[in-house]
């Protein structure tokens, strides 16, 4: 190889040696601090009901361009996020959480802070592990999404079973009753239930104390007075707990109460689907929900379909000498005649009081 041919090669090697080193690839929004393996995860641990702990995530923009935070979504109302951008000089710009555009813009090298507050008043299931999330959506081509995870266990000083009293169907002219049993959930805590009181009209609350299996227990009974309008009903009661060893020393816990107000005599089920080939038919029940009330069924008939498709048999259950009963059974059976198409019929039951009850019968 001649000297003249070596000169271009030497210049090429020199140029390569003087070139700028390649910039490291950007990683988008990078979470700083926290657990090295799971920086997106924070464990609040066990917290007392009524407290509001917070934690702040820090995400740095490693891209050469600004990153826009389009929206932020919490998995439940118990997680309350707030955001701000911290510049290199320490200047702070608060983000907007309303649905009127982007939340904020994070310039290159600056930090997005996401502060997460746990509102224990919105966590209904106490004394149980809970994992909540906050999702970030950005315009970053590298990290368009971030999901932040938070574990928490809210320790309620008492445990109510159930936490919601469901009274079910209540006849309009009778009283509905339900109960919840309350125990102390923290051992040797000096916690007692001072009282339970109603927070709703027409709801009466009583409390009795007893010992069961060596543990103190309070039975809280809720009674809904007669005379309410038909349809769903909801109310609540409040437990007032004394906890002198804790801050605050008094706790107030709300127990929801719900019911469905119905007529004194009901026809069940309200809708039945009769499958093709079912030769046994279907059974409806007419029942008085007020204890001791007896009645007669004057008639029970299907309308909305040919009369020769089904047979109807009405039978009282344990009738008295007058033929009155607290419960009646109505059996609908298909005949040998097949329907020409879909059946959408109505069962109409007329009581001796003149009251009319209706249910749907559908078939194919």
* Mean pLDDT lowest among 57-71, 90-104, 173-187, 260-274: 90-104
pLDDT digit string, tens, across residues 97-119: 877 788 999 999 999 999 999 99
Do 175 and 208 have their domain in common? yes
* β-bridge pairing 265-268 and 343-351: unpaired
Check pLDDT > 70 for residue 320.
yes
- Would residue 55 count as lying in a domain? yes
Q: Assess contact for 260 and 350: CB atoms under 8 A.
A: no
pLDDT computed for residue 130 by the predictor: 94
Look at residues 119, 140, 155 and tell me which one is the last residue of a structural domain: 155
Q: Per-residue confidence at 4, pLDDT binned at 50, 70, 90?
A: low
- Among 228, 262, 296, the domain boundary falls at 262
For the residues 75-82, what does the mean pLDDT come to? 93
Local confidence band at 36 (pLDDT 50, 70, 90 cut-offs): confident
Phi, psi at residue 62, to the nearest 5°? -95, 5
Q: Is residue 113 part of a domain?
A: yes
Nearest to 180 by CA among 78, 253, 232: 253
Rounded Cα gap, residues 44 and 55, in angstroms: 8
On whether residue 12 sits in a domain, the answer given is no
Q: Is residue 141 part of a domain?
A: yes
Mean pLDDT computed over 80-98: 90
At residue 22, the pLDDT reads 54
In order, the DSSP letters of 211-232 are EETTEEEEEEEEEEPS-PPSEE
Extract the tokens encoding 212.
């069961």
Do 52 and 147 share a structural domain? yes
H-state helical runs in the chain: 3-18
Q: How many domains does the chain have?
A: 3
The answer to whether residue 3 is domain-embedded is: no
In a domain, 177, yes or no: yes
Given a cut of 60, whether residue 20 has pLDDT beyond it is: no
Kindly report the CATH number assigned to the domain that includes residue 130. 2.60.40.10
Contact 168, 257 (CB under 8 A): no
Residues 38 and 66 in one domain: yes
The alpha carbon dihedral of 302, 272, 337, 344 has a sign of positive
Report the range out of 42-51, 117-126, 174-183 with the highest average pLDDT. Answer: 174-183
Residue 20 lies in a domain: no
In the listed set 218, 236, 262, which residue is the last one of a domain according to the structure? 262
The answer to whether residues 166 and 137 belong to one domain is no
- Residue pointed to by tokens 């109960």: 179
C-alpha–C-alpha distance, residues 220 and 208, integer Å? 7
Residue 10 CB neighbours (<10 A): 9
**Residues 81 and 163 reside in one and the same domain:** no
Q: Are residues 253 and 230 in the same domain?
A: yes
pTM (whole model) above 0.95: no
- Same domain, residue pair 33 and 151: yes
When the pLDDT of each residue in the chain is averaged and rounded to a whole number, the result is 88
How confident is the model over 309-315, as a mean pLDDT?
92
Q: Is residue 107 part of a domain?
A: yes
Is the domain of 66 the same as that of 150? Answer: yes
- Residue 2, pLDDT score: 54
Task: Please indicate, yes or no, whether residues 239 and 276 belong to a single structural domain of this protein.
Answer: no
Write out pLDDT tens, residues 40-60. Answer: 999 999 988 878 899 999 999
The parent domain of residue 197 ranges over: 158-262
Same domain flag for 174 and 147: no
Produce one character per residue of 263-276: b if its CB has 16 or more CB atoms within 10 Å, e if not.
ebbebeeeebebee
Question: How far, in Å, CA of 134 to CA of 54, rounded?
Answer: 13
Q: How far is CA 178 from CA 4, 70, 193, 205, 219, in A?
A: 103, 48, 19, 10, 10
| Residue 250 banded pLDDT, cuts 50, 70, 90 | confident
pLDDT (tens digit per residue) in 134-149:
999 999 999 899 999 9
Instruction: Look at residue 269 and tell me whether its pLDDT is greater than 80.
Output: yes
pLDDT tens digits, one per residue of 200-223: 989 999 999 998 888 889 999 999
pLDDT classification of 355: cutoffs 50, 70, 90: very high
Residues 240 and 223 in one domain: yes
Whether residues 87 and 142 fall in one domain? yes
C-alpha distance from residue 127 to each of 158, 162, 183, 339 (Å) = 9, 13, 13, 56
Least confident piece of the model among 46-60, 271-285, 293-307, 313-327: 271-285
């Amino acid at each position: 190889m001649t000297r003249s041919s070596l000169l271009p090669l030497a210049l090429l090697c020199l140029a390569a040696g003087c070139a700028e080193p390649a910039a490291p690839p950007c990683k988008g929004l990078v979470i700083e601090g926290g657990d090295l393996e799971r920086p997106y995860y924070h464990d609040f641990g066990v917290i007392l009901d009524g407290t509001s702990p917070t934690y702040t995530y820090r995400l740095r923009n490693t891209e050469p361009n600004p990153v826009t935070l389009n929206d932020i979504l919490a998995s439940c109302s118990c997680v309350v996020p707030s955001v701000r951008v911290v510049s290199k000089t320490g200047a702070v710009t608060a983000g907007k959480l309303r649905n009127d555009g982007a939340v904020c813009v994070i310039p290159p090298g600056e930090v997005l802070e996401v502060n997460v507050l746990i509102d224990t008043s919105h966590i209904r299931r106490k004394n149980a592990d809970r994992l909540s999330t906050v999702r970030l959506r950005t315009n970053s081509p590298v990290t368009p999404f971030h999901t932040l995870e938070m574990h928490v266990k809210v320790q309620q000083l008492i445990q109510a079973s159930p936490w919601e009293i469901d009274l079910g169907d209540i006849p309009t002219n009778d009283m509905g009753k339900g109960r919840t049993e309350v125990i102390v959930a923290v051992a040797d805590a000096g916690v007692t239930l001072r009282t339970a009181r109603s927070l709703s009209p027409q709801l009466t609350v009583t409390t009795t104390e007893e010992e069961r299996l060596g543990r103190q227990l309070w039975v809280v009974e809720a009674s809904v007075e007669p005379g309410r309008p038909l349809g769903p009903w909801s109310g609540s009661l409040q437990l007032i707990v004394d906890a002198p060893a804790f801050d605050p020393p008094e706790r107030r816990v709300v127990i929801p109460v719900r019911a469905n107000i119905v007529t004194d005599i009901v026809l069940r089920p309200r809708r039945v689907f009769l499958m093709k080939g079912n030769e046994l038919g279907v059974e409806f029940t007419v029942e008085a929900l007020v204890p001791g009330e007896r009645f007669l069924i004057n008639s029970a008939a299907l309308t909305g379909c040919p009369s020769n498709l089904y047979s109807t048999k009405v039978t009282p259950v344990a009738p008295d000498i007058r033929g009155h009963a607290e419960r009646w059974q109505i059996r609908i059976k298909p005949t040998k005649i097949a329907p020409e198409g879909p059946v959408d019929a109505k069962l109409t039951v007329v009581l001796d009081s003149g009251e009319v009850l209706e249910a749907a019968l559908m078939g194919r």
